[in-house]
């Protein structure tokens, strides 16, 4: 009976979820296409919203004022670093030079090379997990995540990376041709993106379990909060930020 009620609830929420998804896609792709201050402002608003949700979760499980303060600074570093990487990829930034100049990528390169693989992880993991099932990765943190889902997500992200390489999109765009080594690297990159994205998902699930909530907030009708939708993106882009910053510091 509970399962039937859950299915009825999901069906009744479907128009709201679809409407919210369309609005999010239009705003996101519009900001990405326009670039400049539109993209910077869009990413900045997202970052502030996620940080608000982060602190909302922390206040529910922080053991002391000191603990809450440390979590706040950790959130600023994690979310801020990911946001800077997102801004830099499209608009360029001093810590991420391209051929000695602070130039970002075009909207199609960012979309195909950096956003599409992360989306592919979620899609591949969902379908592989539903079709194959099998052992859970961490049932106490996220009961729905399986090893089969992780494999499906990695495969999907790898195929997107492979398609980008063949179509000359993404990080390697503009390079003359491709070879087996570059194609293999694209598949390996898909695996790494899948692991990072799933790690970000698990991390947010762990925070929500400690806070005793289902969603990070109710900011997005039918979808929960910004943190719920961007957990995988944050992990991947934060790693890009760390790598770029490390290369910058090493000269």
Per the CB < 8 A criterion, the answer to whether 75 and 47 are in contact is no
pLDDT at 251: 67
* pLDDT tens, N- to C-terminus, the chain (251 residues): 444 444 454 445 667 777 777 888 899 999 999 988 999 999 999 999 999 999 999 999 998 989 999 999 999 999 999 999 999 999 875 444 445 555 578 888 899 888 999 999 988 888 888 888 788 888 888 888 888 888 888 889 888 888 877 776 655 454 555 567 777 787 788 888 888 999 999 999 999 999 999 889 888 877 789 999 999 999 999 999 999 888 888 86
Contact in structure between 125 and 153 (CB atoms under 8 Å): yes
Closest CA to 91 of 7, 34, 158: 34
d(CA 251, CA 249): 5
Cα distances (angstroms) measured from residue 177 to each of 165, 171, 174, 181, 184? 9, 13, 9, 12, 14
Distance CA 160, CA 147 (A): 20
Distance CA 62, CA 72 (A): 10
| Residue with tokens 């495969």, as numbered in its chain | 155
pLDDT at 3: 44
Predicted model pTM: 0.85
Task: Give the chain's radius of gyration (CA, Å).
Answer: 19
Domain range for 201: 2-249
- Maximum pairwise Cα distance, the chain: 63
Q: Quote the number of domains for the chain.
A: 1
Alpha helices in 35-111 (DSSP H): 36-61, 65-91, 107-110
DSSP state string for 127-164: HHHHHH--SBS-TTT-TT-BHHHHHHHHHHHHHHHHHH
């Amino acid at each position: 009976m509970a399962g039937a009620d859950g299915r009825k609830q999901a069906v009744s929420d479907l128009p709201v979820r679809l409407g919210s998804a369309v609005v999010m896609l239009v705003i996101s792709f519009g900001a990405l296409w326009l670039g400049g201050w539109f993209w910077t402002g869009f990413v900045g608003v997202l970052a502030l919203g996620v940080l608000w949700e982060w602190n909302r979760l922390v206040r529910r499980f922080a053991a002391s004022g000191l603990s809450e303060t440390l979590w706040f600074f950790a959130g600023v570093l994690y979310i801020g670093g990911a946001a800077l990487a997102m801004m830099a990829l499209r608009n360029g930034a001093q810590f991420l030079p391209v051929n000695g100049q602070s130039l970002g990528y075009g909207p199609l390169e960012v979309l195909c090379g950096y956003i599409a693989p992360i989306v592919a992880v979620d899609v591949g993991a969902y379908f592989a997990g539903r079709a194959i099932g099998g052992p859970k990765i961490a049932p106490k943190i996220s009961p729905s995540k399986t090893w089969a889902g992780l494999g499906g997500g990695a495969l999907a992200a790898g195929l997107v990376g492979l398609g980008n390489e063949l179509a000359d999109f993404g990080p390697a765009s503009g390079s003359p041709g491709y070879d087996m080594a570059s194609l293999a690297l694209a598949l390996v990159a898909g695996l790494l993106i899948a692991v990072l994205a799933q790690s970000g998902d698990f991390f947010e699930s762990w925070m929500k379990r400690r806070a005793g909530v289902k969603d990070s907030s109710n900011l997005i009708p039918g979808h929960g909060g910004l943190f719920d939708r961007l957990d995988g993106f944050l992990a991947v882009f934060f790693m890009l930020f760390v790598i770029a910053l490390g290369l910058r510091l090493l000269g």
